[in-house]
Structure 1
């Protein structure tokens, strides 16, 4: 077992280190990375840590400042470069990988055993090698910090429900504050929906109440997040109306919404988010479906064989995985990054579906699946590094 743990550790560290190295190779890609990097650069230059600026004298009301704070700090410490701009997302991803490991370990019947550690590392490796998880681990985006906040919140609850330390109850609310400062009230939906579904099915309302410091934790969340919202509105009046009503209602309900001050609405058929989930989770989402089908074919239950102090905890993990796709099912103005908060929990579920006794061919298949996304990303990155003119970018910003 120790040899297996060492192998998994090296694989996890190898993938993370490899992704870190890739952050310095490519110029800022597409339009999102350079525009967000420029917002952070202006913040570092002007020292204005309250209002992100889309351009000089043009406030950026589209997102809260947490990701820009971290990127501006990286620019100040390391200078303006692709590596510095992308480093905060990599660090956020590193924290998510650890949270995936922790969640899977606590869901094991013997969470301090070598088997539990191996299961946690396997889940962490799966998340790190999903297509979107690998991509966002080194990009200048806000989504990594939203995923960090939502994952911290839900893993905090899972650990507490499994009898973990009381500090994880406080981390539940710290995760909500991170999400509010990274992307806004969306984090309340992405974390509240799976929790509500879980308690509605299991009737564990009292257990949920006892697991967390609801009153003091809520006060902590508000103390961490609300002051910036107040200061932002006072500094540039109109922010709250645009951000709360426009970005959190009209953007998703009105597919032809023309109120976006910083880009264009994306019109897609309703339900497209589920195709994005398949693409974002590649190859592990498809592998998980195959493993579920295999269990059903053999007459086995697809339910997880892990410790449950509270019945139906596998349902909470499943709901956490599907909540982003469920919430955005009827939205037409979407991006594939919207499913990122569900991928950590897909990794937790997929790791529990893998057969305990693998054939030699299955071992080989597992290794190939782990390497698939990094190898494809390396090939694409190498090609664009040699042909930078073929990469869609606004790096000159």
Structure 2
């Protein structure tokens, strides 16, 4: 080709390349889409959550109705001072002290915290990747891409989705506690050498985190900080304590912990009932976790013992469990090859280690206790993303395909139960099909395995929200006239978990909710006994089963069952999904007059 023709061809090629969106912009766009996906279904009654959300919504509502910040108020003495006040104050402010009391208002602060954590994860990852390569436009784009991937990974963890959206959330303490370690990782030399500014600010941040969770969080955080000062600041092994500066560093860690505890201690200073706080929160809620009738080692080595913590980070990752294991394998191989590890990456590992070691000690162990370090896991997965074997992403895709089949089963059960073929739009089924094809493509096309495997986990979480969406809508609500009818009336409602009855405060605002215990609401039999104390009652039944024989049905709605009966067996989900996942809830009244209702002549 003549040279004169080559230059225009080169310019045309460069123009074509510049017109294509760079991969880092695509990943940044995907990260934004995933973050906004957290809003879908946020105000619904059926989102993945901890059942205790409703307990704390109950306490926050009654405290707001009292008109005072403290003491905390509850209908039950055994569940009042079970969390520090910041959690309840957050709800009271978001709900306008009862004026705007809705699930979406109570949950929005959790979303802002989760988004802030994801941004923090992305920015730190970007900084680490950029520092590991020579400055150039390509390296900056690669750093942005990996930062976006880190944010997507964190938001795709099941623990992030389940506990980072509801009102009862781990997002606030995760932000404040993990934020201290992220700050150190951002500038380890400067902050670890700081004489008083960083210790002061760190103590305040940890204190705020404790006021959301517990003063006990000072222990793992203090341990993690001590490891950072020792391993990163001094460059020594954790056991090499005889070194210059050890006393200074110990004083800094101690000062941080004291400041945090002093800030937490303000609860006792301003609460009108400090003795109740000590009895219920310190002794009952915290010291009680060390009690064990069978014996410490019997519990520690049992099925719910230390193994829960040892595998906790992996199980918290949800469908990304294989990828998180693959990251650990890749990290181990890098350690065997003695590959250099940046100070920031070391800090992430130290925070993961500190939290796990400390929470192996109590007799009550749960993977929830490790959520505060999940942002660090998100950073590490992004840092090792290209070194994680594709087989691990392939296994994640297999889990996602199984998840899609479950979503399809739930959708089929909803159509069968309600006999509404249009309960889902065609887009829902097209979405499931598209995600399924994408997962299969990721298994076949090795160059797409990592990318699709990274995105597929959140795609399944989103499909779960979509599958439950109709039951957060009109078919899951009572009619407007029913809500008006029950305003000021006593209504008996089923409850099979602490505070589960609080959900009806959002469905029937203004009604006087009175709970009755029903281990399996669909099987509750003594309905007539409910009418001895109230005119109205809510009764759940399996699809096609009448609520009672001697009562009048006023209204009905569809509900998702949250606690299935073990005697039904898992196979019931496949053989009869319409009754396994769904139930009808009836508002009924007795055909006979109640004792408080005068007999009409």
Q: CA RMSD in A?
A: 4.0
The equivalent residue for 1:346 is: 377
Report the counterpart of residue 227 of structure 1 in structure 2: 266
Q: Which runs of 5+ in 1 are unaligned?
A: 258-266
Measure the CA separation in 1 of the matches of 2:29 and 2:293: 48
2:316 to 250, 272, 280: 280
Is residue 121 from structure 1 mapped to residue 121 from structure 2 by the alignment?
no
Indicate conservation of the 8 Å contact 1:323/1:342, yes or no. Answer: no
The TM-score with structure 1 as length reference comes to 0.79
- Separation in structure 1 between the aligned mates of residue 495 and residue 170 of structure 2, nearest angstrom: 22
Aligned counterparts, 1:369-384, within 5 A = 369-379=456-466, 381-382=468-469
Which segment is superposed worse, 351-360 or 184-193?
351-360
| 2:161 paired residue number | 134
| 1:152-201 Cα deviation digits (max 9, x unpaired) | 12112222305579887654233202112111222212322223334444
Deviation at 1:374, TM superposition (A): 2.5
Q: 1:189 to 1:302 in 2, by over 3 A?
A: farther
1:396 is matched with which residue: 477, 499, 504?
504
Residue matched to 1:262: none
> For the structure 1 residues 391 and 192, does the alpha-carbon distance in structure 2 shift closer, same or farther, using more than 3 Å as the test?
same
CA distance in 2, matches of 1:135, 1:99: 19
Match of 1:240 in 2: 278
Matching residue of 2:40 = 21
Does residue 110 of structure 2 align to residue 80 of structure 1? no
Larger RCO (alpha carbons 8 Å, 6+ apart): 1
Pairs within 5 Å for 1:1-397: 3-27=22-46, 31-55=51-75, 60-76=80-96, 79-110=100-131, 113-161=140-188, 163=190, 171-201=201-231, 203-204=234-235, 206=245, 221=260, 224-232=263-271, 234-251=272-289, 253-255=290-292, 268-293=304-329, 308=342, 310=343, 313-355=344-386, 360-379=447-466, 381-382=468-469, 385=472, 393-394=500-501, 395-396=503-504
- TM-score scaled by length of structure 2: 0.55
Q: Which has the larger radius of gyration?
A: 2
Instruction: Sort the Cα spacing of 1:224 and 1:131 in 2 relative to 1 into closer, same or farther, 3 A.
Output: same
Q: Could you tell me how far apart the structure 1 residues matched to 2:282 and 2:21 are?
A: 50
Unpaired segments ≥5 residues, structure 2: 1-19, 236-243, 295-302, 391-445, 478-493, 506-601
Question: SS in structure 2 opposite 1:128?
Answer: helix
**Matching residue of 2:416:** none
Contact residue 95 and residue 101 of structure 2 kept, 8 A? yes
Shift of the alpha carbon at 1:315?
A: 3.0
For 1:264, the equivalent position in structure 2 comes to none
Larger relative strand fraction? 2
Report the Cα distance in structure 2 between the residues aligned to 1:104 and 1:7, rounded to whole angstroms: 17
Per-residue deviation, residues 113-140 of structure 1 (Å, max 9, x unmatched) = 4433333222121111101111112112
CA distance in 1 between counterparts of 2:470 and 2:179 reads: 36
Name the CA distance, whole Å, in 2 between partners of 1:168 and 1:114. Answer: 31
Q: Deviations over 1:54-100 (max 9, x none)?
A: 23888822110112111111110771111012112112212211222
Taking structure 1 as reference, are residues 75 and 295 closer, same or farther at Cα in structure 2, changes over 3 Å only?
closer
